Amino acid sequence: MAGLGIYRCLYYSAFEFGFLVPLTTLVMIAIANSLPYWLLNRDLIFVSRGETIPKGYRWYVDGVLNALLLIGIFITPFIVGATIHEYEPSVKITPAATATTPSIEKSYSISPDSIIGVWTDGTNEFASFHIMKDSIYYTDQGESYPYRLKENTITIIYPDFTYKATLRMKKDTLVMYSEDYGASKFWRFHE
């Protein structure tokens, strides 16, 4: 379930964050309850319309905190969604209707300078490849192959075949998706 939650946080819009409301409610009530407990040595009092107001109710503490809680509970999912997607280009990986692999919508360009560098797939402590201005050097093979980048599509020319993939970048993470090989995720290699 945690994996599904992380996937939804990373690849869906802020409107998908409704599942955070119950958790947000509990956390915000716990935080808001500490103020009257500290000031008045009692818990926060919730009063709805039509109820008699109990002794010790202070509108300037309980009423204001209740209003702030309601506002905070409903805007928090949108704030979380906006924060997660703030630096991400307008690209989404969405489940394809007929396949089990995700499809990437082509809606932005990647700067050639942004992919230049050393990348790893994380399977070991070494770099997987080094993308240079006009070629990709594979460290395990000791070979370089030319590539072309057009918008968000990379084409790597190997001696016996041509690999074509859609790229997606987020900070120091690079995702290559090809119809033949699926999605591959790489991170900038830091020595």
Q: Indicate whether 63 and 137 sit together in one domain.
A: no
Q: Indicate whether 150 and 174 sit together in one domain.
A: yes
Token output for 134 = 């006009």
Segment 44-79, tens digit of pLDDT:
777 777 888 888 777 777 888 888 888 887 777 677
Q: Indicate whether 74 and 99 sit together in one domain.
A: no
Q: Indicate whether 160 and 105 sit together in one domain.
A: yes
Q: Indicate whether 70 and 107 sit together in one domain.
A: no
State the burial class of residue 107 (Cβ atoms within 10 Å of its Cβ: 0-12, 13-18, 19+).
Answer: exposed
Q: What is the CATH number of the domain that holds 133?
A: 2.40.128
Choose the final residue of a domain: 61, 84, 107. 84
Cross-strand partners of 155: 148, 164
Q: What local confidence, expressed as pLDDT, does residue 84 receive? A: 56
Choose the final residue of a domain: 49, 84, 119. 84
- Cα–Cα distance between 103 and 105 in angstroms, integer? 7
Choose the final residue of a domain: 65, 84, 103. 84
Please tell me which residue, 37 or 119, carries the higher pLDDT value: 119
Segment 77-131, tens digit of pLDDT:
677 666 655 544 444 444 444 444 444 444 568 888 899 999 998 888 889 999 9
The pTM for the full model equals: 0.45
Mean pLDDT of all residues in the chain? 77
The dihedrals phi and psi of 62, each to the nearest 5 degrees, come to -70, -45
If one counts the domains in the chain, the total is 2
Q: Indicate whether 54 and 7 sit together in one domain.
A: yes
- DSSP assignment of 122-142 equals SSSSS--EEE-SSEEEETTTT
Range of the domain at 76: 2-84
Q: Indicate whether 179 and 125 sit together in one domain.
A: yes
- Cα–Cα distance between 131 and 118 in angstroms, integer? 6
